[in-house]
Amino acid sequence: MKAIRFFSALSLLVVFSTTVFSQQTIDSRLLAKYDQASLQKMQQDSPDQLDFLNYYVEHAGYLVDMPQKPIQYTDLVRLSDNSKAISLGELTNFNLYLYNCKNLQDKNSYYKVGNTGKLLIMVAMKNLQTQYNNYKRMKTLKR
């Protein structure tokens, strides 16, 4: 009887621990697109979707120095005021939801970042999904 109680208590502890440790944090950059209630609901009902969105805002694009060779790009525009005047300071903790950048399905897209000498490269969604799947696999192995 004691063994049954012990294993029942142990099972409850494991379930509780898994629930507590699996709680996702919400990247504040997501609030530019989603309201807090939707994100909290996603946190409860679809933690994998929230995990992908957190990954997305961190890894969907990256900055490089503007290449010397000609490249086809679109000017990066801040959506709040339709401005192309973007400073280097805005690139710290960059929030892609505040700009006109998009990820294409099969190829990278390129955005000139004002007069900063930087180019924003938005990763193709198929590559981003592969990177995310690898990230999840590595995260699972660490547990």
The total number of structural domains in the chain stands at: 1
Q: Is the predicted pLDDT of residue 4 greater than 90, yes or no?
A: no
Q: Is the predicted pLDDT of residue 79 greater than 70, yes or no?
A: yes
Sign of the CA dihedral running 31, 35, 40, 43 = negative
* 51-64 per-position pLDDT tens digit: 999 999 999 999 99
| pLDDT band, very low/low/confident/very high, at 23 (cuts 50, 70, 90) | low
Domain that holds residue 109: 2-142
pTM of the full predicted structure? Answer: 0.79
